[in-house]
Amino acid sequence: MKALEGVKILDFTHVQSGPTCTQLLAWFGADVIKVERPGVGDATRKQLVDVPGADSLYFTMLNHNKRSIELNPKNETGKQVLERLVKTCDVLVENFAPGALDRMGFSWERIQELNPRMIMASVKGFGPGKYEDCKVYENVAQCAGGSASTTGFLDGIPVVTGAQIGDSGTGLHLALGIVTALYQREQTGRGQKVLAAMQDGVLNLCRVKLRDQQRLKAGPLTEYSQYGEGIPFGDATPRAGNDSGGGQPGRILKCKGWETDPNAYTYFITQAAVWEKICDVIGAPEWKTKEGYATPPERLDKLNEIFDRIEQWTMTKTKFEVMDTCNPFDIPVGPILSMKEIAEDEGLRATGTIVEVDHPKRGKYLSVGCPIKMSDSSVEVVRSPLLGEHTDEILTDVLGYSQSELESIKQSGAVGQAKAAAE
Ligand code: CAO
C-alpha cells in the first residue's frame, strides 16, 4: 500500500508549479486525474520539443504517475462531468491565472456546495493584495520573493538561480498544504482552501536573507566577504557571490582541469572547528600558530589570501580528490557537479533519485524520481499519460457513466474527438 492510496486528486494544473505538486502526490499513491483541454492539453506538451511528435521532456518529467482526461468544462456537458469529478475527488489542485476557475463556473463557494469535503489547492503568483491578479512565471517569483536581489556578485546585476524555486518550490509547499488539510479533514470532516503564493514560497526559501536584512541594523555582516574587503554595506541585504550563508566562510575554488572544464571547481568551507586540519591538509601548518590567523574573527580580513592559498592546493587535485581528501577530516567540501555527471551518477540511479523511463512515443529518457524516500510507501515512476489516454476509463470506472452515456458525452464534444493510442 502507498501512503496516499485512496485519495483522488482532480488535477487542473499546467506548466510547472502545479504539476510538480500533483506528481509528488501521485508518487505517494494518490490517484491523480489530470484534466486537459481537448485536443490541446497542457501547453508544456508542445514546448521545448526534442522528439518531433512526442510529448516534450518538459511535460513528461512533471506528469508521471497521472491519468489524463480531455475535458472542456466550458461545454455544458463538460461542466456536468466536471461537477461529477468534483463530487468524486478529495482534492482539486489548480494553478490557473487568478479568476480562471471562477470564470469556468467553479468558484470556491460552488465547489463547497458540490462537495463540502473538497480541499481546493491553488498556486498563484502573489497572495491577496495589489498584485493578486497578476500572472506569474518562475523568474518573476524569484525576483519578487527576494532571491534575485540576493543572488549574484556584489558588482553585478541581480541573478536568477537554475533551481526552480518559484515553480517547483511552490509546488512542494502546496503539496505539504494539501496533505496537512487532508489530515485536518480527518478531524473536522470539512475541506478547505489551500493557497501557496509563489512570492511567499520563494521568500520562505530565502529567509536567511531576511534574517541578514535585520542584522544590518546591528552593524555590518561580518561573515560576508565584502566586510573583510572593507566595502561598506548599503541598507539592504547585498549579493554575496558564493559566500556561504551560515557564517562559516566558504568559496568556490578551482580544481585540476579548470582551464578547460567549466565545472572543475569545488565548494570549500573553512569551518572553524576543523581549521587546524585545513591548515595541515593544504600544507599551511604555520597558520595554526601564526598571529592573526587563529580565530575566525581574526581571519575575516584575510579571507582572500586564505582562499587563494587553499585554491593553490585544490588546483592540484580533481574536485573528487578534494572531496576524498577532505571528507575524512570533516572538512566540508562539495564538487560542482555538472548535469552530465549527475545524469551518469550510478549512486543516484541506485536510490531512484534519477530514473530511466520508457515512453511509447519518445523511447527511453531520464527523469528525477521522488526525492523523498519513505520506508513504507515505495515509489515506482510510471511514464506520463498521453493526452486523453484515460478519458474513457475515468468516465466509466471512476465516474460511473454507462457506455451509452459515454457515447453521448463524446457526441457533445466535451471530451475531444479521439482517445490517444498508447502504442
Ligand atoms: N478546457 C477549456 N478551457 C480550459 C481548460 C480546459 N480543460 N483548462 C484551462 N482552460 C482555460 C482557462 O479557463 C483559461 O481561460 P480564461 O482565461 O478564458 O478564463 C485559459 O484556459 C488559460 O488559463 P491561464 O490564464 O491560466 O493560462 P495562461 O497560459 O494564459 O497563463 C500562467 C499561464 C502560468 C501565467 C497562469 O496560469 C498563472 O499565472 N498561474 C498561476 C501562477 C503559476 O502557477 N505560475 C507558474 C506557472 S509555471 O511557470
Checking if the pLDDT of 303 tops 70, the result is yes
Residue 8 scores a pLDDT above 50: yes
Query: Which H helix or E strand runs over 348?
Result: helix 346-350
Distance (Å, whole) CA 324 – CA 242: 22
Atom 8 (ligand 1): residue with closest C-alpha?
Answer: 37
Which of 80-94, 135-149, 292-306 has the lowest average pLDDT? 292-306
What pLDDT digit, counting tens, does each position of 96-127 carry?
999 999 999 999 999 999 999 999 999 999 99
How far apart, in Å, are the Cα atoms of 190 and each of 77, 112, 371? 28, 9, 30
Task: Determine what percent of the chain is predicted with pLDDT higher than 90.
Answer: 96
47 CB within 6 A, ligand 1: no
Residue 369 CB neighbours (<10 A): 21
End-to-end CA, the chain: 29
| pLDDT for 305 | 95
Contact 328, 336 (CB under 8 A): no
pLDDT at 336 over 80: yes
Distance CA 175, CA 201 (A): 12
Write the single-letter amino acid at 201: G
How high is the pLDDT of residue 417? 61
Question: 100 CA distance to ligand 1 centroid (A)?
Answer: 7
Grid coordinates representing 335 are 564538487
Q: Which of 30, 14, 6, 47 is nearest to 122 (CA)?
A: 14
Q: Where are the alpha helices (DSSP H) in 91-238?
A: 100-103, 108-114, 138-144, 168-188, 198-205, 207-215, 225-228
Question: What residues are annotated to the active site?
Answer: 167
Nearest-CA residue for ligand 1 atom 38 is: 97
CB-based burial, 249-273: b 16+ in 10 Å, e otherwise:
bbbbbebbebeeeeebbbbbbbbee
User: How many Å lie between the centroid of ligand 1 and the Cα of residue 354?
Assistant: 30
Query: pTM of this prediction?
Result: 0.95
176-180, 297-301, 344-348, 418-422 — which is least confidently predicted? Answer: 418-422
Q: How far is the CA of 148 from the centre of ligand 1 (A)?
A: 25
Report residue 415's pLDDT band, with 50, 70 and 90 as the boundaries. Answer: very high
How high is the pLDDT of residue 281? 97
pLDDT tens for each residue of 36-59: 999 999 999 999 999 999 999 999
Is 418 a residue whose pLDDT tops 60?
A: no
Side-chain half-sphere of 206: how many Cα atoms within 13 Å? Answer: 29
In the 8-state DSSP scheme, what is residue 98?
T
Q: Kindly tell me the number of DSSP H helices and DSSP E strands found in the chain.
A: 18, 11
Task: Determine the pLDDT at residue 173.
Answer: 98
Q: Is 149 in the pocket of ligand 1 (CB under 6 A)?
A: no
Of 3, 1, 5, which Cα lies nearest the Cα of 31? Answer: 5
Strand (E) positions, 259-310? 265-269
pLDDT at 416 (0 to 100): 77
For ligand 1, whether the C-beta of 100 sits within 6 Å is: yes
| Cell 569545488, located at residue | 266
What is the mean pLDDT of the segment spanning 68-93? 97
**Ligand 1 contact, 205 CB (< 6 A):** no
pLDDT 10s digits, 220-270: 999 899 999 999 999 999 999 999 877 789 999 999 999 999 999 999 999
CA atoms within 13 A on the CB side of 283: 7
Mean pLDDT score, 328-340 = 97
**289 vs 416 pLDDT, higher one:** 289
The whole-angstrom separation of Cα 45 and Cα 212 is 41
> What's the mean pLDDT when you consider all of the chain?
96
Give yes or no for residue 422 having a pLDDT over 80.
Answer: no
